[in-house]
Amino acid sequence: MSERNDDLMFLAGLVVGAMVGAMAAVLLAPQSGPETREQMVERGLELKNRAEDAVQRAQQVASDAVAKVQGTAQDLIRKPGDDLLDAAGGI
């Protein structure tokens, strides 16, 4: 019976502690709920814009790298004799 009483006391203390903590959080919050939500939306939009900028920069870097690799590949594929034909006027 003593264990059950201890369990009930623990549960009651837990509930009272949670309620006191919730009230303290509401009273000590630096800003209201709507202000917090607005701040979160603004921060989310800022992060979204930064991510979009990073994606655009990465796409540009990738495009530049692909163009460079394609140019190098074309130079390597080109036959050594092609330069002579071009110089001779395409005989």
- The H-or-E segment that residue 80 falls in is helix 80-87
What are the φ/ψ torsions at residue 46 (nearest 5 degrees)?
Answer: -60, -45
In this prediction the pTM is 0.48
Question: What is the rounded distance in angstroms from the CA atom of residue 49 to the CA atom of residue 58?
Answer: 14
DSSP state, residue 77 = H
Cα dihedral 51, 54, 59, 65 sign: negative
What pLDDT band is residue 80 in, cutting at 50, 70 and 90? low
Helix ranges (DSSP H) in 29-79:
33-77
- Mind listing the pLDDT tens digit for each residue in 9-54? 888 899 999 999 888 887 787 887 788 888 889 999 998 999 999 9
